[in-house]
Amino acid sequence: MATSWGSLFQDEQQLEELARQAVDRALAEGVLLRTKQEPSSSDVVSYAPFTLFPSLVPCALLEQAYAVQMDFNLLVDAVSQNAVFLEQTLSRARTGSLAVWGHLCSFSSALVLLIAQEKERNIFDQRAIENELLARNIHVIRRRFEDVSEKGSLDQDRRLFMDGQEVAVVYFRDGYMPSQYSLQNWEARLLLERSCAVKCPDIATQLAGTKKVQQELSRAGMLEMLLPGQSEAIARLRATFAGLYSLDMGEEGDQAIAEALTAPSRFVLKPQREGGGNNLYGEEMVQALERLKDSEERASYILMEKIEPEPFRNCLLRPGSSARVVQCISELGIFGVYVRQGKTLVMNTHAGHLLRTKAIEHADGGVAAGVAVLDNPYPV
């Protein structure tokens, strides 16, 4: 598909000039990251990597992604409320046991507690959220898990207090990887989960997003069990699924491993990890499967059919690098907002999108992993 800027890819001088202007605009608009050298300080910052031009996205696919977002909100909520399903699914993946507390409080005047990492390069989008809340007279305090362990407490009604101030909402920007949990941090997370403060996300919702849960949801009849009577939503959801396969011990897992070893280019091996840079492809995947095929450890992975998007050209801008036109692929995500109080649905809607683009030479990795860059869709 042709674009009005396609001819610019051949003009290096024009590209460099456009890149300089775009970088200045990004800095002026706050598209910022702390540096790798000083992730705990904002004394020196740089722009977040991004594409010089928007990337073409077919209107039909963009509309489909927005249309299915609210279905995914409902599905994730249904999974999070089904403790038996989560326990059975995740026990095979060695992700741990689940305990869910259901206790509602009313808040007259309370804070938002943001659980932050000590080293946080991506602090500026967090500050933007803080500023938006402050404009609505909602105050945010930033604390680490260690601070919660030392100074957090619950009263007899399970109200959460931090430094003597009541907390209404806990917003997690830490705690998504096992390496982020010491024993002290686990104890802090348990304290937060036991409280009646709203958690974003609570532990059940966080576990609902694991790879093993995604694989189980692809099984025949599973969506019907979780979303009874919602055939249209189920059809929209299934239309987005790629092939997902269990590696549990047994005939099903043996067959999946055999197929992957026979045709490794068709598959990707995924552990129960987030953040990018954890998936295994090609020869690395083959070596891992050969090592895991007779071990129960294999159940902590899933196998997925590789998605093969159509490559396109764009110019990627990164700090310290010259403008560079390369073959790219993109990944589109839609933000959702979902609020439920008890059994009453308060809000279910979409709230914008995130398009991440990377050079085709990279098999895996997101923006935080230093591989993908921020992008904007150009509907065609």
User: 120 labelled as ligand-binding?
Assistant: no
Q: How far is CA 139 from CA 99, 113, 114, 124, 148, in A?
A: 29, 9, 10, 17, 17
Q: Mind giving me the DSSP string for 204-217?
A: HHHHHTSHHHHHHH
Nearest Cα to Cα of residue 163 among 143, 183, 138: 143
User: 211 labelled as ligand-binding?
Assistant: yes
344 in Cβ contact with 352 (< 8 Å): no
In this structure, what are the phi and psi dihedrals at residue 6, rounded to the nearest 5 degrees? -55, -35
DSSP H or E segment with residue 43: none
User: 156 labelled as ligand-binding?
Assistant: no
User: 278 labelled as ligand-binding?
Assistant: yes
User: 285 labelled as ligand-binding?
Assistant: no
User: 279 labelled as ligand-binding?
Assistant: yes
User: 358 labelled as ligand-binding?
Assistant: yes
Q: What is the 3-state secondary structure (H, E, C) of 27-40?
A: HHHCCEEECCCCCC
User: 123 labelled as ligand-binding?
Assistant: no
User: 274 labelled as ligand-binding?
Assistant: yes
Q: Mind giving me the DSSP string for 310-369?
A: PPEEEEEE-TTS--EEEEEEEEEEEEEEEEEETTEEEEEEEEEEEEEEEETT--S--TTT
User: 30 labelled as ligand-binding?
Assistant: no
User: 366 labelled as ligand-binding?
Assistant: no
User: 305 labelled as ligand-binding?
Assistant: yes
315 in Cβ contact with 22 (< 8 Å): no
User: 272 labelled as ligand-binding?
Assistant: yes
User: 70 labelled as ligand-binding?
Assistant: no
CA angle 56, 282, 370 (to 5 degrees): 50
Nearest Cα to Cα of residue 289 among 267, 310, 322: 267
Q: Tokens at residue 322, please? A: 């010259």
Nearest Cα to Cα of residue 351 among 70, 142, 19, 64: 70
CA angle 260, 263, 265 (to 5 degrees): 95
User: 137 labelled as ligand-binding?
Assistant: no
Look up tokens 């995740």; give the residue.
90
Binding site for substrate: what residues are annotated? 126, 356
Binding site for Mg(2+): what residues are annotated? 274
Binding site: what residues are annotated? 126, 211, 270-279, 281, 304-307, 331, 356, 358, 364
